Every structure is written in structure tokens, then in C-alpha cells.
Amino acid sequence: MRWLLEVTFIGLTSSWKWVATSVAVVGTLVGILFAFGVFSGGGGGGSEGTPPLVVSPTPIPAATALPDPTATPAPRVISVPILATKASNVGSLEFVLVYDPAKLEFAQVERGALAGNALIDSSSPGPGRLWAGIIDVQGFDGSGPIAVVKFTVRREVSGSMPFTLEDIAAFDASTLVDIVTVTTAGQFNGPDLSPLSPIVTFQ
């Protein structure tokens, strides 16, 4: 009977040491976990020392207006001066300006600087032909633009556009005598170049 009590005592003693050892190991592990922050106090459910993550809004690029592919470009207008040289007391001048109606459309005709306050009239006797008449009772002298003719260039047109003067008639303001003239043709060579003006030279 004694050996049974001794065995029981040894078993209880061993069990107590094992339980104590287990409790010490568990306590050490819990302390280490607290030291590294695995377990934390408070009921917020998050780390108090970590700042909140702020997300910046993504900038929206400004809308850019795109050219309208269906838009019709504005018509191109050119001005063709009619030059006069060596004028002396010219009271009236009329001429016909010939141009290519497939490339140009007549818009209007205006007095040039040399015409001063002269009266001017114009009409179209046929396609590609512009008649213009200028009357100055005081007579004009010198050289310069006697008239300026404006044309609209037709769409998708390129290449040279010639101008010629025909049916010239000029008279002296005082004597009403015919004045002899000679002409030089002109030409328009493109939108980036100035036109070569047709010229009326008085003899």
C-alpha cells in the first residue's frame, strides 16, 4: 500500500511541475506578443499610432475642343489692282478685264488711289469678262492703281490665274481727244504671292 501512495505522490508532483512549466511558457509568449504589438488595448479596432491614409482626388483633364471636320472653310478673296502709268489729264477710261471664270468669281470693283473722287461703274458682258468705266471731269495724272477688282477664288482651285485688258478707251478731260494706250497682262500665282497687276500705259 505504501508503494501505491508513493507512486501517486510522484505523479501529482510531476503533474504540478508540468502545469507550472506550461503556465510559465504561455506567460512568456503572451509577454513577447504584447511587446511586439500583436495584442493592443482599446476598442477602436485599429492601430492608434498609424496615421490615416489620405487619397488625393485624381484631376480631370479639361475638355479640348476638336476641329469640326465637316466645317466648310471660308472662301478666299483676292484683290487685283488695275495699274495706270504716265496718265496726263485723263478724263475717262474704260476697259474690259478678262479672267478665268472656272477659277474666279467676280465680287466687286472699287476706285483706286489714282482715281481720287472719280465716278466708277461696272458690269459683266459675259462669263469671265468685267467691264469698268471711270470718269473724272478734273482729269487725273501720274501712276498708280486706277481701280481694284475683288474676286472670290473657287474651291479646290490651284495654279496660275491670268488677267488681260481689252477694249481700252481713254479720253482727255479738256479736249476729249482719244489717248493712245498699251496694256500689259497680269497674273495671280497663289494665295501666298501678290498678284501681278495688269497695266494700262498712256502714250
Is there a domain that residue 53 lies in?
Answer: no
Is there a domain that residue 193 lies in?
Answer: yes
Is there a domain that residue 45 lies in?
Answer: no
pLDDT value of residue 192: 61
pLDDT value of residue 191: 60
Nearest to 184 by CA among 166, 160, 161, 159: 166
Q: Both 96 and 190 in a single domain?
A: yes
Is there a domain that residue 86 lies in?
Answer: yes
Q: Cβ contacts of residue 186 below 8 Å, gap of 6+?
A: 80, 162, 163, 164, 195, 196, 197, 198, 199
Q: Both 26 and 84 in a single domain?
A: no
pLDDT value of residue 195: 76
> How many domains is the chain built from?
2
pLDDT digits (tens, 9 = 90+) for 16-68: 454 455 445 445 555 555 555 544 444 444 445 555 565 566 666 666 666 66
CA distance linking residue 198 with residue 149, whole number of Å:
11
Q: Both 11 and 85 in a single domain?
A: no
Q: Both 100 and 15 in a single domain?
A: no
pLDDT band at 198 (very low <50, low <70, confident <90, very high): very high
pLDDT digits (tens, 9 = 90+) for 15-30: 545 445 544 544 555 5
Q: Both 20 and 88 in a single domain?
A: no
pLDDT digits (tens, 9 = 90+) for 83-138: 999 999 999 999 999 999 999 999 999 999 999 889 999 999 999 999 999 999 99
Is there a domain that residue 98 lies in?
Answer: yes
Could you list the residue range(s) of the whole structural domain that residue 15 is in? 1-31
In this structure, which amino acid lies at residue 179?
Answer: I
Is there a domain that residue 55 lies in?
Answer: no
Is there a domain that residue 12 lies in?
Answer: yes
